[in-house]
Structure 1
């Protein structure tokens, strides 16, 4: 009934192109400009909003999905003013597929009216997730690179038809299903009352999905090794859980993380000043050591920034958890080590992209600027979902295993469990995603 398995098959079929991350790290968020779309929260698993299609508009309840790019609604409800184009299409999801034909008409979202938008009238919904769900259709907010039929996404047309003040949209997802306000989607701006502090902006690494690089998966300030060399992750409002590759999440190594996960997400110790200090003093040496063939796990030890006793980097999560319990009070002393480990990962990624040393060092310095001090982690209340009431209440983990095949995968999927903890900005103009603590 929820969307926790909606992605893998679709991602396998749709390929995007590499994008260039923007260099801008500063955003003016003092204004609440933009068109605010209220969202309804259904059991913390679906966030629903209203759109209208046609003249006069016929209303539909949709999921605003950053993990896809097409708009579809069921054909059985349609009485559109513009006739069908007649072209058949099929969109595949992890839990099934929909098929139908392309149509074209005006689409209203909040006060914005997009003219001549191509969308899909679904004549067949081959999944109980769609039939039993509380939504009529899905409105994709991803890039055109993954659009079925290469249809221009609705978001692109909003930009091209000059309907927006800024080329950004933002989400606030309320994780209290009993609250009157379920959440907000703001098109063309942000709502300052729903975030605290400053946003962390990270570059989009590949256009298609809103894909970013997850530098590490930490317990406190200690690396688990799950993202050695960096992990590709997509920020996906259409998936209800937080998903990762099966070989990681189903392995015995992951079990201690479940018990300690409230210290893990958000990576304590990512302090901008410490990161920049390491780049300033050791950036060139990190680059040269990696090029010379030194194992990445030993680079920071050779620089004297990390202790290396043969277990820290390779003994598995159990030793990390044990060490975390023993050394919580001294976690701050590991900041140079943590910063160095992150920079080694980022430097490796730059090497793979065949960047020059000068370009890479500049990139690392800018990444340091994007790290606030510190981002908070997910609490158990945020990653454990509750269904039912009283004696029938069941607690469900907010983590799930989901394999996305190459060439798009493997991927981590940061769904509503993750997005609920953060106010999230999707910056189309600068190709960045921003995170700040939700309020």
Structure 2
């Protein structure tokens, strides 16, 4: 499997519960261009630069994120008293929070910040063992409770996982320490309440919503907003789409078309809106058809390369959702690397599924509001 996701196993004491997850793409770009990644990280400091953001139009709490090579978006949180800082992916494709711990023996934990419960006066441990298995790695450890801070918000006594073992190179080379899930609570570890639900229950945010603005091309400025929406991040009006199944942020899609011809999702299909997946993912047969249309050629590592000149000639691919057309131009669904090689940003499902995943390729184009109060998603073109 090439991207984190598809299956998560959560072990609760001696009971094993299987929960499907759709998660972020793997670090294969990092491994393919490891020298580039090393240079990139040397030029960018560990700590995200916090700035003061104008909030006159919103009571939301703003949390800045850094775009790492268009692979994922990482923000800072802290856990414990006094606070210990971690870089996490804010992921709408899962519902649990976990970070590395001092009890972790894996190589991945030696390259990241680790949580030391002995240094926190508010930490509470449990005997509950957890195991999360993703498509590109796994973590196992135990459940604890402590205060989690996001910006100015302090979530008291939040359940989170402390890893004791992390497998795969994705976690080792990743520039994130852990993952903070923002999906519905029914796919979280049994008996726990996810971070966002606690923010709302503890009265820390004025509205039961959060929203994402994702920057392009490694630019700064990416933001997750908790408790409100800022219209300065988008153009026009938000178009609302109902959630069809609570768990993931799942919606109905009408069709996918090019040059007014439907090329996939004919008659409708289901899609997951996932900030933790970098690409556009779909059923293998339809993805193969799209790759053929854009004349993408497979490579030995499972990716598909495209003639870079086609970026200027290929038409938009239109995702129609609730009657609204959301164009994705070739400059978005084809990515050029520093070696002037162009890759398709479409990828087939690692398992047999009819679902589509609208990942960061799509979300960089559209400001997205996740409305838990009304079980709906709002979409609008990002402000230029």
Which residues in structure 2 correspond to 1:12-31 (within 5 Å)?
Answer: 13-14=18-19, 31=57
Task: Deviation per CA, 1:162-204: give whole Å up to 9, x if none.
Answer: 1111111000000121x332x0000011122110001111100
Aligned counterpart for 1:57 among listed residues 65, 83, 99: 83
* SS at structure 1 position matched to 2:7: helix
Q: Distance between the aligned counterparts of 1:4 and 1:199, measured in 2?
A: 33
Residue 223 of structure 1 corresponds to which residue in structure 2?
Answer: 262
Q: Do structure 1's residue 402 and structure 2's residue 349 form an aligned pair?
A: yes
Residue 187 of structure 1 corresponds to which residue in structure 2?
Answer: 226
- Bigger relative contact order (CA 8 A; separation at least 6): 1
Stretches of structure 1 that go unaligned for 5 or more consecutive residues are 17-29, 271-366
Aligned counterpart for 1:436 among listed residues 375, 380, 384: 380
Q: Distance between the aligned counterparts of 2:356 and 2:196, measured in 1?
A: 24
Q: Do structure 1's residue 264 and structure 2's residue 264 form an aligned pair?
A: no
Residue 152 of structure 2 corresponds to which residue in structure 1?
Answer: 111
Residues 233 and 411, structure 1, Cα contact 8 Å, conserved in 2: yes
Which residues in structure 2 correspond to 1:121-160 (within 5 Å)?
Answer: 121-160=162-201
Bigger radius of gyration among the two:
1
Q: Do structure 1's residue 8 and structure 2's residue 45 form an aligned pair?
A: no
Q: Do structure 1's residue 415 and structure 2's residue 378 form an aligned pair?
A: no
The number of equivalent residue pairs is 311
How far does residue 117 in structure 1 lie from its aligned partner after superposition?
0.3
Stretches of structure 2 that go unaligned for 5 or more consecutive residues are 10-16, 22-55, 103-113, 296-309
Calculate the TM-score normalised by the size of structure 1. 0.67
How far does residue 250 in structure 1 lie from its aligned partner after superposition?
2.4
Shift in CA distance, 172/254, structure 1 to aligned 2, threshold 3 Å: same
Residue 355 of structure 1 corresponds to which residue in structure 2?
Answer: none
Residue 13 of structure 2 corresponds to which residue in structure 1?
Answer: none
Calculate the TM-score normalised by the size of structure 2. 0.76
* SS at structure 2 position matched to 1:56: coil
Task: Deviation per CA, 1:358-413: give whole Å up to 9, x if none.
Answer: xxxxxxxxx56xx4xxx45112221222333xxx34322111111444xxx42101
Which residues in structure 2 correspond to 1:245-324 (within 5 Å)?
Answer: 245-251=283-289, 254-256=291-293, 262-267=315-320
Q: Distance between the aligned counterparts of 1:261 and 1:416, measured in 2?
A: 20
How far does residue 68 in structure 1 lie from its aligned partner after superposition?
0.3
Q: Do structure 1's residue 78 and structure 2's residue 76 form an aligned pair?
A: no
Residue 370 of structure 2 corresponds to which residue in structure 1?
Answer: 426
Residue 281 of structure 1 corresponds to which residue in structure 2?
Answer: none
The two structures, once aligned, show a CA RMSD in angstroms of: 2.3
Q: Distance between the aligned counterparts of 1:184 and 1:134, measured in 2?
A: 18
Q: Which has the higher strand share?
A: 2
